[in-house]
Each structure stands twice: as structure tokens, then as C-alpha cells.
Homo-oligomer: A and B are copies of this chain.
């Protein structure tokens, strides 16, 4: 029951900006451009229908989720999988940037004082989402469901009421931009010929933003209740139907109420009835429709619609904060990203993923001044790369199963699925080409460069892990010899509680020999420590090494190295007392020498390094906090 809203926010929220982008792009063709919004909306709707049908096949074939990445990797190989992964990672960043920017534009309808501060408001929202996600979101269903349902219901109601008022009650509903004329940048007349076709192609490409978020549902199949595939498929179908209804409904209403938008960035502008030129773009399509449908009889309806739109857009951004680490985890499992990203409990790695997503989205928002129209040029490409490769993978999948399947009923079903996926692959492939051509120079190339970088990075990481795995592989010839004896060395720079704890622990291991070593960097240190050592009577020899150059690491390493040379068949065990502190800045004040020695000892063959921690009182604080954090993480 709750599965729908969680995944739906990303997919459904797109109808809040896709119609706007269609109209804005069409405005580049002049007033005549707007008449094409209807056929373009229809085409986008058809693509939505085909993609949703195609994904229903994927959901049945891959009930354990994984989405296009798994499908492409399994059926088309490593490089296709990596391509999809790169595209999706970049797309998550754009989902955050576009959704938040669009949410802020919608917010402006309620809070006009945001005008001129869009970019920083968007940054603020992203920071807020980051903090919430870093702390860990408990409720990932309940509270999130409400805005999604409110959005769906109020949107469908608005469309129904609008159409009812126009066609049944015969009201003449005119949007606030109905009487504004739109003029092209250079003031010349409407476009025709190839130039018009180019604009129509771009408008269609931007309208395809309506499809972003659909891919997220197939990733989420495991989260559905059993029968998972069936439920996921049903949700997908329902979602597709709702999305198409909303999209076409909005475009129909926008046509009927004569919504006219302009592209501020390229210089199209309005001329009002008084003949004055206006360069400022009006509010969003949803905002204009909500105003015209509700404002004259039920003002709260306007606010509910706009607020719900804003909230579902922020929710959509939030899904990326869940999806990004999830995809990163799968990629880490396959050794394309640092392995620790796969272990969820690793708070640091998880946090780093969220921070990377957040920083990238903030950079985008600031670079493009939170302009949805500018950001949308980078979006969509990634999703359609994912769609196309996913569908081609599915075609391969069915071809493979058909090779072995003998049951005629099952074969018939698989053949039907294959046909659907062939149609899906063809259509998404064609759309991808249209998107690439019409948007490449407008910004899509940036997204492609980012994807290329991710691809190269992940391939490099994967190759590294392969090489290391090969190097550490156990073979029958591998050396399994047991060291004969243990020579223990304690680094004892002071005679204090941490040192005697290290001594006690070292003695408990009953090594063959046990020596304490002090590297004295000041002259007076030598006598002090010898006196204190004798007073304690540990029964362990203390070797004091004078180091006139005030160097601890070098002389100590030399001592260990010598011990190794003298006893080549034994293993040396070095015990280092370490302070456990409560604040990060205390860490800077302690253990730095220990850390350096440990790092350097690691390069020596036949040496193991034992840290004997001594817990300072201040460490209690941090231990408690660490425990709380882990528990939160596990609970998720």
C-alpha cells in the first residue's frame, strides 16, 4: 500500500516541469509554436506508455530488482552495465538539481519574496535534505505518502474541475498569460521549415523529462510485498496511467486557458495589451492553472495544489538520496566503487556518498542559477541511455530464455514480452538519438562528459580490484609456513598507565623474547625513563636509543629491522600504546608518532603491529555517540 507513493514521487513529480519545458521551448518558434504543444504532449504520452509496458516485462524477469544496470550487465556485458551505471549516477545528481530548482519555482507562487534568491534557496533545500539523510530518515513511507497522495488527488481534481467548468459549465477560463503575446528574441515572425522542426525536436526532448523517475521503480521491486513482480507491475501500470492522464490533462488545460510561457534565457519576451515589452517569465503552468481553476471560488485549492507540487518535488529529490547510495552499494559489490560502500553499516562511506551527491547538485544549481530550463538540457540523456540499454538487454534476455524454453504457453508469453521490449528498445533508442542531437550543444555534452569520467573512474577501480584479487589468490604453491617464534617489542616512550597496560598485554601473549624500547630525543629524557623503569621493576629489559636528530620513527624502525635480520624465521610483534580520545582535535594531539610508526612498520615483512588502546576519560563521550549512530544505521 505504501510502496506506490515512495517510488512514485520521482516519476510523478516530473509532470510539474515537463509541460513547462515543452511550452518554453515552443515559445522559441513564436506564437505559432504553442499550437504544437498538443501533438508533442501526445507523443510524450505514447513514449511513457511504451516505456511502462516495457518495464513491466523487466519487473517479471528480474523480481530481485537491480534495474537497468543489472539487466544491461547480465545480458550485454560489463561495459554496457558500466555505461548504464555512469548514466544513472549522473542522473541522480540531476534529479536533485532539477527537482529542487523546480520546487523552488513553485514555492515562489506562495512566497514571492524568494524572487531573485532562487539559487540560494535551492542550495538551502539541498543542504536540508543532506542533513536529514545524513542523520538517517526513520519514516520512509508514512509521512512521505501524504504529499504524494495530496498531489495526485488535487492534480486530478484540478484537471477534472477545469475541464468540467469549461465544457459543462461553459465558463471562459483564461490564464494570466492568455492575453500576452510572445515575441521571438530578434522580434521577427514565427519560425518555419527546418528551424521549426529543430525547435519541435527540442520541445519533445525536454518533454521527455516526464519519463524521468520511471526507471527508479524497477530498482525497487524487492521493496514490494509478495507477489513482488506482480505488485510492482501493477504499480507501474497504475503509475503510467496516472502520469499520462496528468500530463495530457495539464497540456489540454494549458491549451484551453491559453497559457503562454517564454524562455528568459534566450530572450523571447511578452508584449502586453498596452504594447509594453515584459522580459520576466510568468509562474509555472501548474501555478497558472491552479490560479485560473480555483482562485475565483476556492482560494485554498490554489495553495493546496502549489504546496503539494513543491513538496512532491522535494520528495523526488529525496529519493535520489536513497537511490544514489543504493546504486553505489550495488556497484561496490561488483567492485566498480570502493568496497566499503557495499557495507551499509559503514557510516563514513555512506555519508560520503550522500555528501558527494549533495555537493555535485549544489554546484549544478549554482552554475545554472537554479534554472530548470537550463538544467533540463543535461537531464533526460542519462535516463534514455539507461532505458535503451535496459530494453536491448531485455530483448537479449528473452532470446536467451526462448532458446531453452519448451513449454508452448511460456514461450508464447516470452515471445510477447520480447516483441514489447523490441518496440521499447526501438522507441527509446530513437528518442535517445533525437535527444542527443537536439540537446547536445545546449548542455547535454556536459552530462556526457560527466558520464565518461565516471565510466573511466569505475573501470579503473574495477581493474585495480581484479589485479589485487589475482595477486592475493591462494594457490597450492602459496607459502603456508608458520613462523617459529614471536619476538615482542614494546614502544615505551614514557612510564605511565598506557605503557604498563601495553606491557601487561604483551606479557600475556607470552612471547619468546620481550624488549621495551624508548627512543630518547632529549638528553634529560634518558635518565628520567631509566630511573622510572627501574623503580617499577617490570622484569623486562628497556633499551634506550638516543636520537640526537630528534627522530623517533627512524631509530625505532632500525631496531625492529635488526631484530628481524637476527631472527629471520621468527615474527616480530610490535606493541604500541595508543590514547583513545573523545574529540577529533585531541586525535591531532596524540598518537601521531604511533600512527607514523605503524604505517612504516607495515612495509616490513614479518612484522605485526598491535595497538594497545588506553581509554582516556574523554573517550566515553565518543563511544556513546558511535554506538547510537550504529544502532540508527542498523535500524534502517
Interface residues of A (CB under 8 A from B): 329, 333, 338-340, 342-346, 348-349, 461, 464-465, 468-469, 471-474, 478, 480-486, 494-498, 500, 504-505, 507-511, 521-522, 532, 536, 547, 549-554, 571, 573, 575, 578-580, 586, 588-590, 592-593, 596, 598, 600-605, 607-617, 619, 622-623, 626, 630, 633-634, 636
> In the bound complex, what is the Cα–Cα distance between A511 and B329 (angstroms)?
37
For the complex of A and B, 9 pairs with smallest distance between CB atoms = A345-B551, A602-B613, A340-B592, A603-B623, A344-B550, A610-B610, A472-B496, A472-B497, A483-B508
Query: With contacts A339-B593, A474-B500, A496-B474 known, is A630 near B553, CB below 8 A?
Result: yes
> In the bound complex, what is the Cα–Cα distance between A613 and B342 (angstroms)?
23
4 more CB-based (< 8 A) A-B contacts, given A580-B603, A608-B613: A343-B550, A471-B497, A472-B497, A505-B608
Main secondary structure of the interface of A (DSSP, over half): mixed
- Which residue on chain B has the smallest CB distance to residue A335? B589
What residues on B are CB-neighbors of A614 within 8 Å?
472
> In the bound complex, what is the Cα–Cα distance between A138 and B471 (angstroms)?
40
Query: With contacts A495-B474, A605-B615 known, is A346 near B553, CB below 8 A?
Result: yes
**How many identical subunits does the complex contain?**
2
A480 & B509 in contact (Cβ 8 Å cutoff): no
Distance from A620 Cβ to chain B, minimum over Cβ atoms (Å): 9
What residues on B are CB-neighbors of A511 within 8 Å?
509
Query: With contacts A339-B593, A505-B608, A509-B511 known, is A602 near B578, CB below 8 A?
Result: yes
> In the bound complex, what is the Cα–Cα distance between A526 and B498 (angstroms)?
39
Query: With contacts A472-B498, A473-B496 known, is A553 near B345, CB below 8 A?
Result: yes
Distance from A465 Cβ to chain B, minimum over Cβ atoms (Å): 7
> In the bound complex, what is the Cα–Cα distance between A468 and B588 (angstroms)?
14
A571 & B609 in contact (Cβ 8 Å cutoff): no
A340 & B593 in contact (Cβ 8 Å cutoff): yes
What residues on B are CB-neighbors of A333 within 8 Å?
522
What residues on B are CB-neighbors of A536 within 8 Å?
474
B579 & A521 in contact (Cβ 8 Å cutoff): no
Partner of A596 from B348, B547, B612 at Cβ < 8 Å: B348
What residues on B are CB-neighbors of A521 within 8 Å?
342-343
A485 & B508 in contact (Cβ 8 Å cutoff): yes
Select the residue from A497, A498, A578, A619 with max chain B CB neighbours within 10 A.
A497
> In the bound complex, what is the Cα–Cα distance between A634 and B500 (angstroms)?
31
B507 & A482 in contact (Cβ 8 Å cutoff): yes
What residues on B are CB-neighbors of A552 within 8 Å?
343, 345-346
What residues on B are CB-neighbors of A602 within 8 Å?
578, 580, 611, 613, 615
What residues on B are CB-neighbors of A344 within 8 Å?
549-551
> In the bound complex, what is the Cα–Cα distance between A82 and B316 (angstroms)?
55
Distance from A512 Cβ to chain B, minimum over Cβ atoms (Å): 10
A592 & B345 in contact (Cβ 8 Å cutoff): no
A345 & B554 in contact (Cβ 8 Å cutoff): yes
B617 & A471 in contact (Cβ 8 Å cutoff): yes
What residues on B are CB-neighbors of A596 within 8 Å?
340, 346, 348
> In the bound complex, what is the Cα–Cα distance between A459 and B549 (angstroms)?
27
> In the bound complex, what is the Cα–Cα distance between A465 and B346 (angstroms)?
32
Partner of A500 from B329, B469, B478 at Cβ < 8 Å: B478
> In the bound complex, what is the Cα–Cα distance between A468 and B615 (angstroms)?
11
> In the bound complex, what is the Cα–Cα distance between A553 and B607 (angstroms)?
25
What residues on B are CB-neighbors of A623 within 8 Å?
603
A603 & B626 in contact (Cβ 8 Å cutoff): yes
> In the bound complex, what is the Cα–Cα distance between A507 and B483 (angstroms)?
9
- Which residue on chain B has the smallest CB distance to residue A345? B551
